[in-house]
Amino acid sequence: MQPERDLSRSPLFQVKLVLQNAPGGILKMENLSLSSAAGEGHTSKYDLLLAISESDAGIGGALEYNSDLFDKASMERLQEHFQQLLRAVTAAPELPLTQISMLSPAEREQLLREWNQTATYFPPVCLHELFAEQARQRPEATALLYEDEQMSYGELERRANQLAHHLQRLGVGPEVVVGICLERTPQMIVALLAVLKAGGAYLPLDPEYPLERLSFMLEDAAVTVLLTEVAVVERLPAHWGYTFCLDEEWEQIASESETTPACAAMPENLAYVMYTSGSTGQPKGVMITHRNIVRLLWGVSYAHLDQEQTILQLAPISFDASTFEVWGALLHGAQLQLYKGRVASAAELGEILKPGRHWTLWLTASLFNAVVDEQVQALAAVEQLLVGGEALSVSHIRQAQQELPGVQLLNGYGPTEGTTFSCCYRLPGEVSATAESIPIGGPIANTEVYILDEELEPVPVECQARSTLAARGPGARVFATSGADGREVHSRSIQRACGRAAVSQR
């Protein structure tokens, strides 16, 4: 067979089950009797060995394990699970193994209840109401930064009110979806806020998307009003709804009232519809409510958000990370710095992220890796750096921690259906030298996370550790449901190990 030799493990197999069920007892011979004696070996021969013996007294066993690979607590849990399995099998021998749980009632209660006690208070209001309160308290404070331009909270409030009045005249109200296809400028933020103030929900559209995809999204979301601009409109598909360019018609919009329009939207109403690629390649619209977003950003413990922060708006508006960037800033009175281009280079980030501000930044894992490789000091002025979108590279995290000791790194994980983040992990000052993956942490406030097997039953703690708290592997799915109003959302394939994850946001 010529197996590969490795001194750290047995070459042919590493796990062994032994069943000694041959008749035992004392063997007697002339002038001699033989009986078995328990061994007291202190060195494991395999990674894991379970020896079971049968006698007149019943069935007994011994568990032997490699202490370099397993700790005592894990092995005790494994033993308890095996005993629980045996009890369940003998109680209901007709059931297939897939329908039998290894969890004791106490462990099941821990997984389903104790570890998901994340409920905290957040106000039952809409996004635009929280923003209006910031504008009322600090109207002169800077809300938006864009190249050499600045826009205060008061001005952003007034301009959004004017556009909101205009949108209401076009029939925009609760559950009405408005398409927004604009380049990243202050006008784009005005449009997002105005749609919410009118009571509607926005559908972000990337002008670089293929015409076929844009057409599908507009039709599938039943968009009746589309906001765009002259530089973009020619790249858009023909649309049966009302399309107007903000830069061409702003003179008319500017004649509208600057007062806050009456709005019938409630926290349970839609705030936006965002399309994912879909596991089958067919775009799927995820419906997110005001309540979902407030739950994500209000009184959070995974990051520090206040009026002293400056958040760089770097993600495409059609990507759910923009939810954290835009509303994480504007709901807390912080400054939102708009990046002019599409994908920033390390050098460009270094030019923007100058010392003197309390920078908060969100990067995809791939962009983070590229910046660390090319010019890691471009991130030196950042106080909070959230990285996510895929499994993080241990080597890049370790390098960043060595060269950026003043930067707090956070691993944010969650599907679009879970409103940007479902779990978050605040990295310690130094990743362990033996670490093979970066944890995704536990559920954030008002979120429940369950790791399930193929039968949608909770998996044991060891699988929880490999799945919820460690790197993701191929082949499983995440299911997310919005607890805000019972609205069903789509699910998408992700990479997961040791089962499936169910995410519920209250």
Amino acid symbol at 486: G
State the DSSP H helix or E strand holding residue 295, giving kind and residue range, or none if neither: helix 290-297
If you average pLDDT over residues 390-403, what whole number do you get?
Answer: 96
How far is Cα 205 from Cα 177, in angstroms, rounded to an integer? 12
pTM for this model (two decimals): 0.84
Domain 127-265 has CATH 3.40.50.980: yes
Spatial CA neighbour of 416 closest among 300, 279, 301: 279
164 phi/psi in degrees, rounded to 5: -65, -40
Q: Give 110's contacts (C-beta < 8 A, 6+ positions apart).
A: none
**Angle at which helices 365-375 and 394-403 cross, to 10°:** 50
- Cα-to-chain-centroid distance, residue 286: 14
In Å, the largest CA–CA distance within the chain is 116
| Interatomic CA distance for residues 47 and 304, integer angstroms | 44
> Quick check: 433 and 397 in contact, CB under 8 A?
no
Q: What is the SS3 assignment for 254?
A: coil
88-142 residue pLDDT tens: 999 999 999 888 888 888 889 999 999 999 999 999 999 999 999 999 999 999 9
The tokens describing 337, both together, are: 């710095």
Residue 155: band (very low, low, confident or very high) from pLDDT cuts 50, 70, 90: very high
How many whole angstroms separate alpha carbon 384 and alpha carbon 373? Answer: 19
pLDDT digits (tens, 9 = 90+) for 40-61: 767 888 999 999 988 778 888 8
Domain spans of the chain, in order of start = 1-70, 127-265
Question: Of residues 292 and 276, which shows the higher confidence score?
Answer: 292
Measure the CA–CA gap between 411 and 391, rounded to whole angstroms.
9
Model confidence over 312-331: pLDDT tens digits?
999 999 999 999 999 999 99
CB 166 within 8 Å of CB 225:
no
351 secondary structure, DSSP code: H
What is d(CA 327, CA 443) in angstroms, rounded to the nearest whole number?
A: 20
Calculate the CA dihedral of residues 428, 312, 267, 320 and round it to 10 degrees. -80
| Whole-angstrom Cα Rg for the chain | 29
